[in-house]
Each structure stands twice: as C-alpha cells, then as structure tokens.
Chain A
Amino acid sequence: MKLARAILPPAWATLIALGVASALIIAVGGAPLAVYRLLVAGTWGNGYGIGQVLFKTTPLIFTGLAVSLALRAGLFNIGAEGQLTVGAFATALVGAHAAPLPAVVAVPLALVAGAAGGALVGAIAGALKAWRGAHEVINTIMLNFIVRAVMVGLGAHFFEREQIHTTPIAASAQLPRLSNWIAQLHGSAANAALFFAIAVAIGAWWLVERTRTGFRLRAVGASADAAATSGISVPRVQLFALALSGAVAGLVGANFVLGYKHYYEDGFSGGIGYIGIAVAVLGGARPLGVVLAALLFGTLSQGALAVNAVVPKEIVDVLTAVIIFSVAAAAPAVRRRIALASIAEAARA
C-alpha cells in the first residue's frame, strides 16, 4: 500500500503528461516518438548530455529539498526563487573575497554565506507566519518580488562595470568540474556541487526522520493543533522550518557560482525556484523522491534544447505543468482509493 501510494501518482502523472505532449507535437506536425528519441539521445545518449543533465539536476535537488522541508512542516514555500537569489549573491560576494583562504575554508564559508542569505529571506516569512499568522504563500511570493527589486539596487553597487555579474570568486573557492575525473563528461558544466546536493539530501532525510527536531517538524505538519496540545511550540517550529527551507534554497550558489560561472549573474536562476515546487510535489516531499524528480526535470530541461529544432523547446514547460497538475489532482484521488482499500482490508481481517 505504501509503495502504491508513492508510485501511483507520479506514474499516472507521467502518462498523462506524455499524452498531452504527444497531442501537442502532433498538432504542430511532428512525430512524438521521433521527438522522444531525440530527447533521450540529447540527454542520456552521450557524455556531454549526461553531464549537462547532472548540472541541471543539482540546483533542482536544492530547491526541491527546500520546498519539501517546509512542506513537511505543513508550510508552502513559494519563495525559493528569492531565497536562492540572495543566497547565491552572498556566496559570490564571500567567494570573491576568499583569495587568502585555503579551499577547505573558502568553500564552506561561501556556502554558509549562501545558506545564511537564503535563511534570512525565509525567516522573514517564517516570523510573520509564526507570530502574526500571515499566510506564508502570499508573503513568500511578495518576498520574491521584493528581492527582485532589491537586487536591481544591489546590482548597481556590486556588479562589474557595464556587466550584470559580480566580481569573479577566488580560485580557492571554486568547485572542480566532474570532467576532471570522468573524461567522458568533457565540456559539460557538471561539478562537485552534485555530491554536495546529494549529501544535503541525506542530511535532510536524517534530520526529518531521525531527530527530535524532525519529529517536531512532522508533528506540526501533520496537525498543528495536536502538536501544540502536546507541548510543541508551533510558532518556533514554523519559523525554523521556513528559515531552514530558505537556507537549503540558498545553497544553489554552490552549483552555478562555485562550480560553473564563478560569479553571480542577474537572472541566472531561470525559475529553478518554481520548478523546485514541481520537484517537491512529484517527489512526494521525500529526499529520495526529490533526487529522482530532480533528475527527471533536469533531463527534461536539457532535453528541451535537444528537441528545439523539431518542436519548440517550450513543450517541456507544458510537460512540467501537466505533470504537476496530474500529481496534484491525482494525489487526493489515489489517497481516497487507498484509504478505501485499507478500510476494506481491515474489515476483512
């Protein structure tokens, strides 16, 4: 039953999404199978493609985990986009001043700055939720736009002359490319941030499932009233959850800033904060699910470029949206059906 609950919605969603995508491809005069073959060939079909998929998967693991952690506490963090922007910016600023430091200090320091930046933005929504009861969905959306505006102001001070990026970071703060070790990935931007993302996923699992803090988080997510009755401070857990969520989103800079471009660039995100919501929903807000879902969306994101010559690459956005719809709409239906089945089972026993 547990397995069915985990597998059915994503499987269902993928089928529906493939159906819609096929219809759209036929509508513009393409052949669905040929497009899918092209998509696979351009992603998992060669070393460069695989590397690029991994590169695009990495930030989605962070944002997917960020949204998931808040979800486990019953909170919706739509603000990963703003949080990761501030985080990556902080990572770049610290990285740029890290020249005298050895890598073992510079890299963690830059990442801590990123987490702190993201946590700060998350904590604003968290504090307003915890003590003023203000809806975190609206506040995180508002914060996304506030961050966007503030970055225009900050950019005027911190960007290089006539550029839309910051000063490059010191060599000691850079993360190595995976192609240094695996020659086949040559040319792709995949870097060591991938391992860090997976480590954070394992850490998130451990925190949520194996610690007292995680238990409180889940208790508040399951029922805030029941948690409060049993002595858990709901406001504190809510503040913690959104700050933690923001911190994880703020780590995104590891991939783009430390591992790829080596500076913060205006608009580098391209909406990965929002795709993080899709990742979390498809992954069932569980770390393993998030990593797998991130891999799927990373593949689609890279695959979009591979099919662009035949069908407009935006088909991938449509595909993503349909997957989210289907999971969101199928989840309650599946839940109901499984609940009915288990009642029937209990009755038989």
Chain B
Amino acid sequence: MIATLFASLFTAGFAAAVIRITVPYALAALGGTLSERSGVINIALEGLLLIGAFTATLGAYFGHSAMAGVIGGVAGGAAFGALYALLVVTLRGDQIVCGVALNLLADGLTRFLMKATFDSSSNSPRIDAWGDVGTRLIVLTVALVALFHVVVYKTPFGLRLRAVGEHPEAAASLGVRPARIRWVALVVAGGLAGLGGAWLAADQRQFVAGMSNGRGYIALAAMIFGAWRPVRAAAACLLCGLAEALQIALQAAGVGVPGWAVQMLPYVLTMITLAGFIGRSHAPRALGRLDRS
C-alpha cells in the first residue's frame, strides 16, 4: 500500500495535481502581497477570486473564446479591486468591514446574476471554449510571480509601494501620493485575483456558486507564511498545493491520515507563524491604518 502510494507521488499526474491546486492560490496571494505591501489589508481576496471566476465564465461564454474568458476574469477582479479602493482608500472605510462586505457581495451578486443570466443560481452551463488554456496560464503565473518580485524590489514603483506600506507620512513628505499608490496596488491585486478566478472557471469548465471555497483565505495565509514577499508567498502556496494533493493521494491509497487534519494544516501553520514561533514574519508597519494624508 505504501509502495503504491510512493509510486503515485512521482508521476506526472501528481505534479499536475499540485500545480492545479497551487495556481489560484499563488495568483491571489500575489495580489494580497501587493495590496498589503501598500498598507491595505485584503480580506477581500476570497470575493475577488469568486468575481473573477464569474466574469471569466461570462467572458468565455459570450466571447466564445478562452482569451475573452481570461480578459473577463482579470477585468472583473480589477473592477472589484477598484470598488474596494474607492471604499477604503478614497472614502476611508474600515478595511476589515469593507473586505468582509465585499466577500458577501461577491457571493450574493454572482448567485443573483447567475440566476438572471443562466436561470440557475448554482451552476453555469459547461463551457468548452476554455480549451487547453491551462498550460499557458501556468506559464503566465510563474512569469507574474517573477515579474512582481522585480516590480516590488527593483523598481521605483516598488520602492514607493513599500514606503507607503511602512510609513505613509514619510513617503508623502517626499512627494509620493499614498492614495494613488494604494489605488494602483488594489486594482492590480484585483486583476491578479481575478486571473486566479479565471483559472478556477477554466479548470472546472463552468462557474459554480461559491466555487472560491475559502481559497482566498488560504492565499491570505500563504501570503503571511511567505512574509509578504512575492516569491516566498508563491512558495508557500506551492506547499499548500503539495499538502492538499498529498491528502487526496493518501485518501485514494487508503492510508489512514484523516483528511480534516491535513486540511487544517495551512491555517495552523499561519497562526504559528504569526505568533512568531517559527521564523519571523513582519507585517508592513502601516497595514490597516487609516491614511491621514
């Protein structure tokens, strides 16, 4: 039994399963990293993934192509990122409250619009236009992680982003406008999470109500575990993907590790990390603070 299990872990199928699970985590975590680096807590990742999955489905359905789907996902996520920015940056609403509300809105609105568009609030029809867009999205995800590593650490924008997240007053005194940087960060974060949503929709070839299913929170956890750094956050996502794929493999092999114990692992690890028991993970200093400038 153990032997068959081990054999199943070194197959292309297992690697594919790991990557399949990791991609949406990584994209959402990347979005989370950007927005939190600018000083804005992003509880809304869950809702952004869900909205992205829905608008991607609309794009692929009405545009009859995977490309239209991907664009739809990114655009929907970015639009909701802009809504979030309007609420918390411009109107200075509480970030936690607005994040929770955005998740609720995403869940309600997608079901509402599903009923209006497809006459079912739970499932869209199967969409074959997605084809095999998956491989290209995997490459794109890896490229985006590398790109945002460079953006955050090697560009003037990245320097401003980090400055605004650490000390907005100091950044403002040097002529950087925190509100503008945060708007950009939140819209891009929305687009990235929306792309993650497009992956979910493409992977399942349809939209299912509530299909983000807590992935946004896993991404949030991975982002913290990855110490608010793009590459480390993506690596943490890979770890989560590995754990989940392993759990599925274990179950299939009939090995007696309870699934629920594996399921709670990323959350427990995040709590341990946050409490500073393993390694150090410092949040951006201005995280969640209201912008006074």
Q: How far is the CA of A128 from the CA of B268 in the complex (A)?
A: 13
Within the complex, the shortest CB–CB distance from B100 to chain A, in Å, comes to 5
Q: Which residues on the A side are within 8 Å of B244 (C-beta)?
A: none
- Residue in A closest to B268 when the chains form the complex, CB atoms: A146
Contact flag A132-B275 (CB < 8 Å), given A142-B221, A321-B108: yes
B101, A325: Cβ atoms under 8 Å? yes
Within the complex, the shortest CB–CB distance from B259 to chain A, in Å, comes to 7
B276, A132: Cβ atoms under 8 Å? yes
B220, A138: Cβ atoms under 8 Å? yes
A277, B97: Cβ atoms under 8 Å? yes
Any B CB within 8 A of the CB of A19: no
Q: How far is the CA of A315 from the CA of B121 in the complex (A)?
A: 12
B259, A152: Cβ atoms under 8 Å? yes
B274, A332: Cβ atoms under 8 Å? no
Q: Which residues on the B side are within 8 Å of A330 (C-beta)?
A: 91
- Residue in A closest to B269 when the chains form the complex, CB atoms: A142
Q: How far is the CA of A322 from the CA of B91 in the complex (A)?
A: 14
A328, B275: Cβ atoms under 8 Å? no
Any B CB within 8 A of the CB of A153: yes
Within the complex, the shortest CB–CB distance from A19 to chain B, in Å, comes to 15
B93, A332: Cβ atoms under 8 Å? yes
Within the complex, the shortest CB–CB distance from B81 to chain A, in Å, comes to 15
Contact flag A141-B43 (CB < 8 Å), given A274-B104, A321-B108: yes
Q: Which residues on the B side are within 8 Å of A315 (C-beta)?
A: 108, 112
Q: Which residues on the B side are within 8 Å of A332 (C-beta)?
A: 91-93, 290
Name A138's contact: one of B94, B109, B274 (CB within 8 Å).
B274
A153, B258: Cβ atoms under 8 Å? yes
Interface size for B (C-beta < 8 A) is 45
Name B93's contact: one of A24, A141, A274, A331 (CB within 8 Å).
A331
Any B CB within 8 A of the CB of A293: no
A28, A128, A141: most-surrounded residue (chain B CB, <10 A): A141
B116, A149: Cβ atoms under 8 Å? no
Contact flag A24-B112 (CB < 8 Å), given A132-B276, A141-B220, A328-B98: yes
Interface size for A (C-beta < 8 A) is 44
Q: How far is the CA of A150 from the CA of B265 in the complex (A)?
A: 11
B104, A321: Cβ atoms under 8 Å? yes
Any A CB within 8 A of the CB of B41: yes
Any B CB within 8 A of the CB of A78: yes
Any B CB within 8 A of the CB of A39: no
Within the complex, the shortest CB–CB distance from B76 to chain A, in Å, comes to 16
Any B CB within 8 A of the CB of A236: no
Please, what's the 1-or-0 string for A306-319, where 1 marks a CB less than 8 Å from any CB in chain B? 00000010111110
Any B CB within 8 A of the CB of A164: no
B95-134 contacts to A (CB < 8 Å): 96-98, 100-105, 107-109, 111-112, 115-116, 121
- Residue in A closest to B116 when the chains form the complex, CB atoms: A28
B97, A328: Cβ atoms under 8 Å? yes
Within the complex, the shortest CB–CB distance from B121 to chain A, in Å, comes to 6
A317, B97: Cβ atoms under 8 Å? no
A317, B116: Cβ atoms under 8 Å? no
Within the complex, the shortest CB–CB distance from A272 to chain B, in Å, comes to 12
Q: How far is the CA of A149 from the CA of B260 in the complex (A)?
A: 5
Q: Which residues on the A side are within 8 Å of B276 (C-beta)?
A: 132-134
B111, A314: Cβ atoms under 8 Å? yes
- Residue in B closest to A134 when the chains form the complex, CB atoms: B274
Any A CB within 8 A of the CB of B251: no
Any B CB within 8 A of the CB of A329: yes
Contact flag A312-B111 (CB < 8 Å), given A145-B217, A153-B258, A329-B91: yes
A320, B108: Cβ atoms under 8 Å? yes
Q: Which residues on the A side are within 8 Å of B96 (C-beta)?
A: 76, 78, 137
Q: How far is the CA of A76 from the CA of B102 in the complex (A)?
A: 17
A267-285 contacts to B (CB < 8 Å): 274, 277-278, 281
Q: Which residues on the B side are within 8 Å of A146 (C-beta)?
A: 264, 267-268
Any B CB within 8 A of the CB of A27: yes
Name B275's contact: one of A128, A143, A327 (CB within 8 Å).
A128
Please, what's the 1-or-0 string for B270-293, where 1 marks a CB less than 8 Å from any CB in chain A? 110011110000010000001000
Any A CB within 8 A of the CB of B214: yes
Within the complex, the shortest CB–CB distance from A138 to chain B, in Å, comes to 6
Any A CB within 8 A of the CB of B204: no
Any B CB within 8 A of the CB of A333: yes
Q: Which residues on the A side are within 8 Å of B258 (C-beta)?
A: 153
Within the complex, the shortest CB–CB distance from A327 to chain B, in Å, comes to 8
Q: Which residues on the A side are within 8 Å of B41 (C-beta)?
A: 137
Q: How far is the CA of A179 from the CA of B116 in the complex (A)?
A: 38
A325, B87: Cβ atoms under 8 Å? yes
Any A CB within 8 A of the CB of B224: yes
Any B CB within 8 A of the CB of A324: yes
Interface residues of A (CB under 8 A from B): 24, 27-28, 76, 78, 128, 132-135, 137-139, 141-143, 145-146, 149-150, 152-153, 274, 277-278, 281, 312, 314-318, 320-322, 324-325, 327-333
Excluding A314-B107, A315-B108, 17 further A-B contacts by CB distance (< 8 Å) are A28-B116, A134-B275, A135-B283, A145-B217, A145-B264, A145-B267, A149-B260, A314-B108, A315-B112, A316-B108, A317-B105, A318-B108, A318-B109, A320-B104, A321-B108, A322-B101, A324-B98
A-B contact pairs, 30 of them (CB 8 A): A28-B116, A128-B274, A132-B276, A133-B276, A134-B275, A135-B283, A141-B43, A141-B220, A142-B270, A149-B264, A150-B264, A314-B111, A316-B108, A317-B112, A318-B109, A320-B104, A320-B108, A321-B108, A322-B101, A324-B97, A324-B101, A328-B97, A328-B98, A329-B93, A329-B98, A330-B91, A331-B93, A331-B94, A333-B91, A333-B92
